[in-house]
Structure 1
Amino acid sequence: MISKDTKFLIVGLGLLGGSYAMGLKQEGYTVYGLARRQETIDYALEHNMIDEGQIEVNEFVSKADVVIFCLYPKAMVNWIKEYKHLFKKGALISDVSGVKTNIVDVVQEELKDMDVEFISCHPMAGRETSGIEYANTEMFKKANFIITPTKYNTQPAIEFCHDLAYTLHFNHISILSIEEHDHMIGFLSQLCHVIAVSLMNTHDNSHLVEYTGDSFRDLTRIAQINENMWTELFLLNKDILLDETNQFIDAISHFRDALANEDEQEMKRLFIQSTQRRKLFNKNDGKKA
């Protein structure tokens, strides 16, 4: 359980890390920060996001009861391999990684002989912008928070993550297995990014900007994308994302055939089915857990 004496260290003060730090500070917790650039630490201090910050990795790490990694997955694994000896005895370690396969098992194996516990989480919040200057806790209020425990995690750690999500005012909190998470994220997030990127790359459509309507803007909002992070996430979840992409290709090919054959009944059936399925998401908007 989180107490007011709990001290947090955020490793990586970008958009999400900065937002975590901001939210925890607003709730009265002691927050430390680690970042690559001194300018980032200075910004976090000036805006009261952290109590202390450093760019050097040293015994400073051992001040924290909870360490939350807001790094790319592979960078987190490498960081832990190099600096795991600095963790405070009994510390809880967590992350924000968008893919869990080939990450969680590696970290837990790395820490298996240490008196710390790693439990993975995924706050499904973000923006098309990056950097601490865009940090904002408002994005948590309509976002889902997923806890992905394994057999190596304890019930107190799971409860702690639930408390963390509640403290940061996430809208809905769920518990999924690693496998369930990566299948879900492959469809609900990664495939959506593939579609948005592909739509933007279908034509050189920059000359259409003066005529664009809401449909195109809504569909392509997430096409403004961090090429380094998303390439890494896609490759880590390659098999699942390939399967989801193939299923989408089948679905759009089926619609194309219905259109080519002027099959009005099938087109209407597909429209009705999509409308009914979308209504389920409308019912869940604003639901709190």
Structure 2
Amino acid sequence: MINKDMKFFIVGLGLLGGAYAKALKKNGYTVYAADINEDSIEYALENNIIDEGAVSDYNSLIEKADVIISGLYPTAMVGWLRENQKYFKKGCIITDVSGVKRGIADKVQGFLSEDVEFISSHPMAGKEVSGVRNSDENIFKIANFIITPTEKNTPEGIKFARELGEILGFRNITQLSLEEHDKMIGFVSQLTHVIAVSLMNTNDNTHLVEYTGDSFRDLTRIAKINEVLWSELFLLNKEILVKEIDDFAAELNNFREKLVNEDVEGMKKLFIQSTERRKLFDRKDVKNRK
């Protein structure tokens, strides 16, 4: 379905938008881009990451695009698509990188015309830095790509999203409903960020860096966080995330009780259970690297 003649337009040339652009250019596709940061566009042009780009007056680039990829924050994406849909080519396919789907993907599909298709997807990849200068298409090689279709999507649109994930180089491509995605992401991504942030904010000892080992560094790596983006993502998924926080707090209290009561056997059972569950991830990682 995706052929070499197709032209891609990326709005939001940040970390993920830049990685998409690099991967697509590497595979021989024509890539256009728009960003509010002129330095990002200039850098991308100078380094052959994109073919054409602009910070304004880019309507002609949109009109030439067969595929539009939004690298914008979720709510900004909704506004941009609504405002610029009059420039979309008939038959154009639109996709995104948004980390939350409910209230975003369905809203977009509600106002777009029927001669274009929005198929939502989520690249489960990233770094603790931002911007096209830090983008790296190789982050997709160890990452998962989730397609989140609705009843409004066509088989062709879903096939397109899967092919895009393959072209970008994702190691694993799966499909979830909007609801399943947000429930899953509330646990595996958002809760883990809450834990990392909370752990980092529990102790303000500036000398901790002199004493910590790898375990603390690994657990708090994602505490270096984009406060604007993640505040938005958390609020968009508030109900699910609050439940995950409550469930985690209950499990933490369960562990505390066993420790207070010196319940050694109870603690051992928790250690054994966590070890067995973690081994499932290790086996999956080995399988995907083969």
Report the TM-score range of the alignment, normalised by the length of the smaller protein: over 0.9
- Cross-structure match for 2:31: 31
TM superposition shift of 1:288: 4.1
Amino acid of the residue matched to residue 76 of structure 1?
M
TM superposition shift of 1:205: 2.9
* 3-state DSSP of counterpart to 1:285: helix
Identity across the alignment (%): 60
Tell me the C-alpha RMSD between the 2 structures: 1.0
* 3-state DSSP of counterpart to 1:9: strand
Amino acid of the residue matched to residue 12 of structure 2?
G
Amino acid of the residue matched to residue 102 of structure 2?
T
TM superposition shift of 1:253: 0.4
Q: Distance in 1 between matches of 2:255 and 2:31?
A: 52
- Cross-structure match for 2:87: 86
Q: Distance in 2 between matches of 1:48 and 1:205?
A: 45
Amino acid of the residue matched to residue 94 of structure 1?
T
* 3-state DSSP of counterpart to 1:128: coil
Asked if the contact 2:92–2:116 (Cα under 8 Å) also holds between the matched residues in 1, the reply is yes
Asked if the contact 2:91–2:116 (Cα under 8 Å) also holds between the matched residues in 1, the reply is yes
Q: Distance in 2 between matches of 1:155 and 1:206?
A: 54
- Cross-structure match for 2:162: 162
Amino acid of the residue matched to residue 84 of structure 1?
Q
Encode CA deviations 1:151-184: one digit per residue, 9 max, x unaligned. 0001111111111111111010000000100000
Asked if the contact 2:18–2:132 (Cα under 8 Å) also holds between the matched residues in 1, the reply is yes
TM-score for the superposition, normalised by structure 2: 0.98
Worse-matched range after superposition: 56-65 or 69-78: 56-65
Q: Distance in 1 between matches of 2:134 and 2:287?
A: 26
Matched, 1:189 2:181: no
* 3-state DSSP of counterpart to 1:101: coil
Asked if the contact 2:9–2:61 (Cα under 8 Å) also holds between the matched residues in 1, the reply is no
Asked if the contact 2:63–2:88 (Cα under 8 Å) also holds between the matched residues in 1, the reply is yes
TM-score for the superposition, normalised by structure 1: 0.98
Matched, 1:249 2:265: no
Amino acid of the residue matched to residue 264 of structure 1?
V
* 3-state DSSP of counterpart to 2:142: coil
- Unaligned runs of at least 5 residues, structure 2: none
* 3-state DSSP of counterpart to 2:278: helix
Matched, 1:107 2:96: no
Distance 1:287 1:62, change over 3 A: farther
Asked if the contact 1:99–1:182 (Cα under 8 Å) also holds between the matched residues in 2, the reply is yes
TM superposition shift of 1:41: 0.7
Q: How does 1:177-256 map to 2 (within 5 A)?
A: 177-256=177-256
Encode CA deviations 1:74-98: one digit per residue, 9 max, x unaligned. 0000101111101111100000000
Q: Distance in 2 between matches of 1:5 and 1:199?
A: 49
TM superposition shift of 1:248: 0.1
Q: Distance in 2 between matches of 1:205 and 1:215?
A: 17
Encode CA deviations 1:190-245: one digit per residue, 9 max, x unaligned. 00000000000101032111111001000000000000000000000000000000
Q: Distance in 1 between matches of 2:64 and 2:266?
A: 62
Q: Distance in 2 between matches of 1:88 and 1:58?
A: 11
Worse-matched range after superposition: 156-165 or 184-193: 156-165
Q: Aligned residue pairs: how many?
A: 288
- Cross-structure match for 2:269: 269
Q: Distance in 2 between matches of 1:221 and 1:72?
A: 22
- Cross-structure match for 1:68: 69
- Cross-structure match for 2:97: 96
Encode CA deviations 1:99-124: one digit per residue, 9 max, x unaligned. 0011011100011x341000100000
